[in-house]
């Protein structure tokens, strides 16, 4: 099924003559190969230009803003050097947001990987109703993030939480003393992590399932014949063979969680007392709501190191996959 990669040598500069079999020199751009390349350039240029304009330019602007004093509604802006960075690094809400971003991402990713590994193994073999089960399992990922988050806000409501009702009914708590899921700092953090995990589990499961089904049936059977039991096959054969795909799922999961502001914005708006603030939500509150674009930009730039690391890891994986 793998397509052969076209392995042409880089084309000579346009305009340089190419020797055709018949002898007379033909400009490269007129040769079939040259024409094909030109057509290719024409075909992807619109997309590339569009992306350069809507991603490249704003990216550069983000850096520019971070070093100036742009505010919403201000006409002029001045270079301020590292001032923005200095002031946000001193701000406790920023420090908390930075820490939270890492904690939320790492904890939810661990939960997601463990959960989706278990779930994808359970879903591997066909069974009656697997389609319907898959529909149910995918709901958290497919529903718009904000709507899922609002659903959880209702479930975790301080007064009417259904979870609390059950806890009280089972006599774990007295009425009115059940946990304030979104009102108490540590519980609020746990709630945010829970919602992120809930949302990413389906995505990760689907990817892992694809990885599982890609393992040729022969190999676990050979392991069975070789004497391996269920757990050995799982940990020494299946999971190692799924590692590239697990990596893909993890890296995407990290990006989706680390750069997400919606869950926090809707569940807790960063509260209580900034305890669930994360970098993207803080950037939003600072930049858009409070109007300090340059500080907002500076905050959001702290996302970049993680993105660069993830991008590097993904490229390295893709490169390795190509060699093997």
Q: Of 88, 113, 119, 193, which one interacts with another protein (CB under 8 A)?
A: 119
Binding span for another protein by CB under 8 A among 78-86, 90-98, 105-113, 205-213: 205-213
Spatial distance between the Cα atoms of 201 and 209, rounded to a whole number of angstroms = 12
Residues contacting residue 247 through CB under 8 Å, at least 6 positions apart: 313, 317
Is there binding between residue 173 and another protein (CB under 8 A)? no
Task: Specify the residue, 81 or 231, whose C-beta has the smaller distance to another protein.
Answer: 231
Is there binding between residue 200 and another protein (CB under 8 A)? no
Residue the block writes with tokens 């947001």: 97
Q: Of 88, 149, 188, 192, which one interacts with another protein (CB under 8 A)?
A: 149
Task: Specify the residue, 96 or 164, whose C-beta has the smaller distance to another protein.
Answer: 164
Q: Of 14, 16, 17, 118, which one interacts with another protein (CB under 8 A)?
A: 118
Is there binding between residue 246 and another protein (CB under 8 A)? no
Spatial distance between the Cα atoms of 324 and 322, rounded to a whole number of angstroms = 6
- Taking residue 153's Cβ as centre, other Cβ atoms within 10 Å add up to 17
Longest Cα–Cα distance in the chain: 95
CB of 131 to another protein, least distance (A): 8
Give yes or no for a contact between 248 and 207, defined as CB atoms under 8 angstroms apart: yes
Task: Specify the residue, 23 or 130, whose C-beta has the smaller distance to another protein.
Answer: 130
- Taking residue 108's Cβ as centre, other Cβ atoms within 10 Å add up to 26
Q: Of 245, 246, 250, 253, which one interacts with another protein (CB under 8 A)?
A: 245
Which DSSP string do the residues of 26-56 spell out, in sequence order? EEGGGSHHHHHHHHHHHHHHHHHHHHIIIII
- The secondary element (H helix, E strand) that includes residue 212 is helix 185-213
Q: Of 270, 276, 283, 285, which one interacts with another protein (CB under 8 A)?
A: 283
Is there binding between residue 133 and another protein (CB under 8 A)? yes
Task: Specify the residue, 178 or 188, whose C-beta has the smaller distance to another protein.
Answer: 178
Q: Which of 287, 246, 224, 294 is nearest to 110 (CA)?
A: 246
Spatial distance between the Cα atoms of 116 and 319, rounded to a whole number of angstroms = 26
Restricted to residues 26-85, the positions that interact with another protein (CB under 8 A) are: 35-37, 39-44, 46-48, 50-51, 54-55, 57-59, 61-62, 64-65, 70, 72
Q: Which of 294, 266, 242 is nearest to 82 (CA)?
A: 294
Task: Specify the residue, 107 or 119, whose C-beta has the smaller distance to another protein.
Answer: 119
CB of 194 to another protein, least distance (A): 10
CB of 23 to another protein, least distance (A): 25
């Amino acid at each position: 099924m793998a397509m052969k990669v076209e392995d042409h040598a880089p084309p000579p500069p346009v305009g340089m003559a190419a020797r055709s079999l018949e002898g007379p020199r033909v400009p490269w751009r007129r040769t079939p190969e040259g024409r094909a390349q030109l057509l290719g350039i024409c075909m992807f240029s619109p997309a590339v230009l569009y992306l350069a304009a809507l991603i490249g330019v704003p990216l550069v602007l983000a850096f520019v803003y971070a070093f100036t004093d742009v505010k919403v509604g201000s006409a002029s802006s001045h270079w301020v050097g590292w001032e923005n960075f200095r002031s946000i690094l001193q701000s406790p809400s920023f420090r908390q947001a930075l820490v939270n971003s890492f904690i939320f991402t790492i904890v939810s990713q661990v939960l997601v990987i463990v959960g989706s590994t278990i779930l994808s193994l359970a879903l591997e073999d066909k069974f009656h109703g697997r389609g319907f089960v898959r529909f149910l399992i995918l709901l958290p990922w497919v529903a718009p993030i904000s709507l899922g988050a609002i659903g959880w806000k209702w479930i975790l409501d301080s007064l009417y939480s259904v979870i609390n009702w059950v806890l009280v009914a089972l006599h774990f708590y007295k009425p009115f003393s059940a946990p304030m899921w979104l009102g108490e700092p540590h519980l609020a953090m746990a709630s945010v992590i829970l919602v992120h995990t809930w949302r990413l589990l389906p995505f990760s499961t689907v990817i892992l399932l694809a990885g599982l089904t890609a393992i040729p049936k022969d190999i676990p059977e050979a392991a069975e014949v070789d004497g391996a039991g269920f757990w050995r096959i799982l940990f020494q054969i299946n999971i190692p063979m799924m590692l590239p795909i697990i990596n893909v799922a993890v890296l995407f999961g990290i990006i989706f969680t680390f750069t997400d502001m919606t869950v926090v914005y809707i569940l807790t708006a960063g509260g209580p007392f900034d305890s669930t603030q994360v970098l993207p939500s803080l950037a939003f509150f600072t930049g858009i709501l409070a109007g300090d674009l340059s500080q907002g930009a500076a905050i959001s730039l702290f996302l970049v190191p993680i993105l660069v690391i993830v991008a590097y890891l993904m490229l390295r994986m893709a490169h390795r996959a190509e060699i093997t």
